[in-house]
Structure 1
């Protein structure tokens, strides 16, 4: 009988420890999830430069972290996205101009091509080469649309 009471006592201690470890595990997982959610919401509140890619086949938005008062060169932002292949882009660069030739496999043709707009104003390759500064407050769209070309170059 004494042995039975002893094993009963050991069983309670083991169950208590198991329950304690289980509660600690649940609290720990809850803490980790809460920290994860806080860090995600913190990131989303930081100012970001948004670039929208639009075509008939796809629509994609890319966000680049930036401070509210900082402006960045649009061509450098596009080159960085191209380097990361997010989205996959191909440029043509001359001493005078820059042109986006392809985005995610959608290439320019004689009648359509990728056109850059900043705050609803078309930005040509010469302006991009000279430098176009953008900030989180700017609306940036890169659209695949009908274009007229003279000697292979799009005309404004």
Structure 2
């Protein structure tokens, strides 16, 4: 499972700075990342993930087609025919088409990317 959760964290007792918390979880890996954000700013989830991947913090691979974008691997944990990385925004499952179109997230959104059981049709996950 890979969690991206937006929250307000306290830097000092008097100032609060909004951050996007990214919590990566699978059966082999767990880590939390924090990305500074503005309270009223929304960012494209795929761009956030691509930026982290570019820095290899953590290392990620994606598969991209004309219509879809899918996370294929995080820190060496790859999708298989029965398990894969699944994106949830505010507890709603997102598919590869929505990822390609862009999913805007902000400090009040709950984003999770979990490594879990999936059903595939011709290699693509089904909802």
What's the TM-score once normalised by structure 2's chain length?
Answer: 0.86
Cα RMSD between the aligned structures?
Answer: 1.5
SS at match of 1:46: strand
Matches for 1:1-156 after TM superposition, within 5 Å: 41=12, 45-156=16-127
Q: For structure 1, which runs of at least 5 residues remain unmatched after alignment?
A: 1-39
Q: For structure 2, which runs of at least 5 residues remain unmatched after alignment?
A: 1-10
SS at match of 2:99: helix
State how far apart, in whole Å, the 2-side matches of 1:59 and 1:137 are: 22
Max radius of gyration: which structure?
1
State how far apart, in whole Å, the 1-side matches of 2:96 and 2:23 are: 18
SS at match of 2:47: helix
Higher relative contact order (CA 8 A, sep 6+): 2
Bigger helix share: 1
Bigger strand share: 2
Number of positions where the alignment pairs a residue of Structure 1 with one of Structure 2: 116
Runs (4+) of structure 1 exceeding 4 A deviation are none
Contact 1:49/1:137 (8 A) holds in 2: no
